[in-house]
Chain A
Amino acid sequence: MFSLKETKRSALISLWFMFLTFPVLVIKVDAIEQTVYWRWENMLYIGLGSFILSIFGKIFFERQKSRRERQIAEKIEKHSLIQRALRDPKYLYPLGAAFFLFAVTYPYLFSTYQINVMTTALMYVVLGLGLNIVVGVAGLLDLGYVAFYLVGAYSYGLLNMHFGLGFWTVLPIGALLAALLGILLGFPVLRLRGDYLAIVTLAFGEIIRLIMENWNDFSQGPSGISNIPRPGLLGFDLTLDQAITYLYYLMIVMVLVTIFVVNRLQNSRLGRAWVALREDEIACQAMGIDKTKTKLTAFALGATWAGMVGVIFAAKTTFINPASFTFLESAIILAIVVLGGMGSILGVILGAVILILLPEYLRALSDYRMLAFGAIMVSMMVFRPQGLISNVRRHYHYRPKKEQQK
């Protein structure tokens, strides 16, 4: 079943890996003793390991290919297990209920640290879902998404510092300001697409951050804003633990609201227009869709979520400074969307949970944490380039037929 040619290729691959890892894993220089250790056994491990992995990888790809060919030949609709489960209420409801129960009881089962980590993950879920509107659905590659996040955070920080406005007042204000900024960014980039849009949005994100860093009178510069109050609960005084739990539940509600709204947006006249805009801009306009309006709403609605999460972020950490809003943040949020599956809500949620929680739980690997993280990301992209859960095509189930008969 395995030809000589394939074996040769695998051998070549393992040779290449041995060569690549040679300087790092074989040679070890002890500067004090002035001796060089040659750890040849490491080379053996690498060689064997990469040889076996490459053979397994090849078998995997072969099987996947033949399966796909069979599916095309037999015209079977390809749906993953998860997508099938989502379609069928028989599985969907118990699954949803189990998740909901888990989410509600989570703070009672785990430590404060775990709750905090989970709250962060949930924040990224909302951020991912917001960016998903812009990147996944409307196909506008936005690398400066963090700017809207910053606007939300700073609007809470500054409005609270100067005017004493509370969390619940600023939440809608932050969202509104972010949306306005989204429209403001949208106007000059209306005619750009793809790489060019990415560059401009990247610059935009950096500009906003640099303004905050350098405009000391306005934003207190790099020293940031501290002592931002946590969200209040009807005037009760909360202890730190209670506040953390409260914020967790707040994020759960926020995530549910986001899923609800984003799902409805995607399955609406507007959502279809976004997808059409992603597919073919010229045809889209020729069919009567106002490009300007559609793009700007995508930018504004995407930014709204970032603004709200920004406010929550400020309330959670009680301290903000521009260093929290670097390009890396944008990149992570974008990675969540791409990894999870462009345009797929469940995919983005899974992507956020994996990308935020994985580095936390990989801490056990200490030094190799980021290496393992990178390896997981790369293999994910090799094996599932369409993302963890690819977007489910919206089927309009025979409704017209049924209603036609009446």
Chain B
Amino acid sequence: MTAPILQVKNLGMSFGGIRALDELDLEVNSGEIVALIGPNGAGKTTFFNCVTGIYQPTQGDVMLNPPSRSSIRLNNLKPNQVAEKGMARTFQNIRLFQNMTVLENVMIGRHCRTKSFILGAILRNKATREEEYQTIEKSYHILQKMGLEKQANDLASNLSYGAQRRLEIGRALATEPFLLLLDEPAAGMNPQETAELIELINKLQQEGQSILLIEHDMKLVMELSHRIYVMDYGRRIAVGTPEQIRNNPVVIKAYLGEAADA
């Protein structure tokens, strides 16, 4: 078996005296959908922020093993470098560029895969035009995949909530990640929108996209994930298939509290 594409070893993060993450291990294999669940405040989003460079973890290693390239240590890289290395994320509270058009939002995702700079922008030479054309083309294809091509020139703030979520995923996909991190993609969605999202994530997985997601919607988690990691108080308390997790007493305890007679 090949090495996991994301390998997190012994990750720890302290804010002053508070240990938000404690000796956390996590692996994502190529083509897999892995879910990270846990009660509120368990440290899931902190984990995402540590992995994507928004926080610098205080201990441990985050290793990225891109296919056909040597592995990269992600600690101490800036968020934009992490994105460049091939890991893109969405945010729990939508962070789109509200006053840019839908297409432009996705085009921003292409930024780290394109090169033109000041001179190219001013002279608008052949290479720049070619690059710009490809940016638009690729972004447009992504919008088609997300079902947003009709709103391509609308402002992002004018999209419906579900569409904004999809656009955020599309923007992340535009960076050509080999691992996509989704932070509560179904938060605030109605059942129909969630069903559409499940379909979308399934489609992405079938195209070979590896996905790591945080989610509270258990229906989505159980339906999609190949493996589930459960966290509580910054620690990993369980790992396994959806079936194993569903019946794991430790997990049930973390979510529902101890039984009264214990």
* A interface residues (Cβ-Cβ under 8 A, vs B): 261, 264-265, 268-273, 275-276, 279-280, 282-291, 297, 301, 393-397, 399-401, 403-404
Determine the distance from Cα of A10 to Cα of B136 in the docked complex, in whole angstroms: 53
Instruction: From the candidates B89, B99, B100, B174, name the one contacting A286 in the complex (CB within 8 A).
Output: B89
Looking at chain B's contact residues, the main secondary structure is helix
Determine the distance from Cα of A66 to Cα of B260 in the docked complex, in whole angstroms: 60
Residues of A within 8 A of B108 (CB): 272-273, 276, 284, 287, 289
25 contacts between A and B (CB under 8 A): A261-B122, A272-B108, A275-B97, A275-B100, A276-B97, A279-B100, A280-B96, A282-B95, A284-B97, A285-B80, A285-B83, A286-B89, A287-B171, A287-B174, A287-B175, A288-B175, A289-B111, A290-B78, A297-B117, A393-B100, A394-B101, A399-B133, A399-B136, A403-B137, A404-B137
Say how far A60's CB is from chain B's closest CB, in angstroms: 26
The 3 closest A-B pairs by CB, nearest first: A288-B112, A268-B121, A288-B83
| Contact A401–B140 (Cβ < 8 Å) | yes
Residues of A within 8 A of B112 (CB): 287-289
**Most chain B CB neighbours (cut-off 10 Å) among A261, A283, A399, A404:** A283
Given contacts A269-B132, A288-B80, A289-B108, contact A396 B117 (CB under 8 A): no
Mark contacts of B81-110 with chain A using CB atoms, 8 A cut-off: 1 yes-contact digit, 0 otherwise: 001100011010001111111011001110
Determine the distance from Cα of A68 to Cα of B54 in the docked complex, in whole angstroms: 41
Say how far A172's CB is from chain B's closest CB, in angstroms: 15
Given contacts A288-B112, A289-B80, A291-B80, contact A268 B100 (CB under 8 A): no
Instruction: From the candidates A284, A290, A301, name the one contacting B118 in the complex (CB within 8 A).
Output: A301
Q: Is B65 an interface residue (CB 8 A)?
A: no
| Contact A269–B121 (Cβ < 8 Å) | yes
| Contact A265–B111 (Cβ < 8 Å) | no
Residues of A within 8 A of B222 (CB): none
| Contact A272–B140 (Cβ < 8 Å) | no
Determine the distance from Cα of A377 to Cα of B108 in the docked complex, in whole angstroms: 36
| Contact A268–B120 (Cβ < 8 Å) | yes
Given contacts A286-B83, A288-B83, contact A396 B121 (CB under 8 A): no
Residues of A within 8 A of B19 (CB): none
Residues of A within 8 A of B210 (CB): none
Determine the distance from Cα of A285 to Cα of B78 in the docked complex, in whole angstroms: 8
Instruction: From the candidates A269, A270, A297, A301, name the one contacting B135 in the complex (CB within 8 A).
Output: A269
| Contact B99–A287 (Cβ < 8 Å) | no
Mark contacts of B214-255 with chain A using CB atoms, 8 A cut-off: 1 yes-contact digit, 0 otherwise: 000000000000000000000000000000000000000000
Nearest A residue to B107 via CB reads: A272
| Contact A270–B117 (Cβ < 8 Å) | yes
Determine the distance from Cα of A395 to Cα of B102 in the docked complex, in whole angstroms: 10
Say how far A191's CB is from chain B's closest CB, in angstroms: 13
Residues of A within 8 A of B131 (CB): 269
- Contact residue range for chain B? 35 or more
Determine the distance from Cα of A270 to Cα of B108 in the docked complex, in whole angstroms: 10
Residues of A within 8 A of B95 (CB): 280, 282-283, 286
Q: Is B63 an interface residue (CB 8 A)?
A: no
Say how far A193's CB is from chain B's closest CB, in angstroms: 15
Residues of A within 8 A of B96 (CB): 280, 283
Say how far A216's CB is from chain B's closest CB, in angstroms: 38
Say how far B97's CB is from chain A's closest CB, in angstroms: 4
Residues of B within 8 A of A282 (CB): 54, 79, 91, 95
Q: Is B211 an interface residue (CB 8 A)?
A: no
Determine the distance from Cα of A86 to Cα of B174 in the docked complex, in whole angstroms: 32
Given contacts A279-B99, A283-B96, contact A270 B79 (CB under 8 A): no
Residues of B within 8 A of A396 (CB): 101, 103-104, 136, 152-153
Residues of B within 8 A of A270 (CB): 116-118, 121
Determine the distance from Cα of A261 to Cα of B123 in the docked complex, in whole angstroms: 9
Given contacts A269-B135, A283-B91, A288-B109, contact A264 B124 (CB under 8 A): yes
| Contact A394–B104 (Cβ < 8 Å) | yes
Determine the distance from Cα of A348 to Cα of B155 in the docked complex, in whole angstroms: 23
Residues of A within 8 A of B91 (CB): 282-283, 286
Residues of B within 8 A of A399 (CB): 133, 136
Nearest A residue to B84 via CB reads: A288
| Contact A269–B111 (Cβ < 8 Å) | yes
Q: Is B180 an interface residue (CB 8 A)?
A: no
Q: Is B75 an interface residue (CB 8 A)?
A: no
Nearest A residue to B138 via CB reads: A400
Determine the distance from Cα of A272 to Cα of B52 in the docked complex, in whole angstroms: 23
Determine the distance from Cα of A282 to Cα of B124 in the docked complex, in whole angstroms: 29
Residues of A within 8 A of B121 (CB): 264-265, 268-271
Nearest A residue to B108 via CB reads: A276
| Contact B114–A269 (Cβ < 8 Å) | yes
Nearest A residue to B91 via CB reads: A283
Determine the distance from Cα of A403 to Cα of B133 in the docked complex, in whole angstroms: 9
Determine the distance from Cα of A400 to Cα of B104 in the docked complex, in whole angstroms: 13
| Contact A393–B136 (Cβ < 8 Å) | no
Say how far B108's CB is from chain A's closest CB, in angstroms: 5
Q: Is B172 an interface residue (CB 8 A)?
A: yes
Residues of A within 8 A of B124 (CB): 264, 268
Residues of B within 8 A of A279 (CB): 97-100
Determine the distance from Cα of A288 to Cα of B112 in the docked complex, in whole angstroms: 5
Determine the distance from Cα of A118 to Cα of B121 in the docked complex, in whole angstroms: 30
Residues of A within 8 A of B140 (CB): 400-401, 404
Nearest B residue to A270 via CB reads: B121
Determine the distance from Cα of A279 to Cα of B171 in the docked complex, in whole angstroms: 15
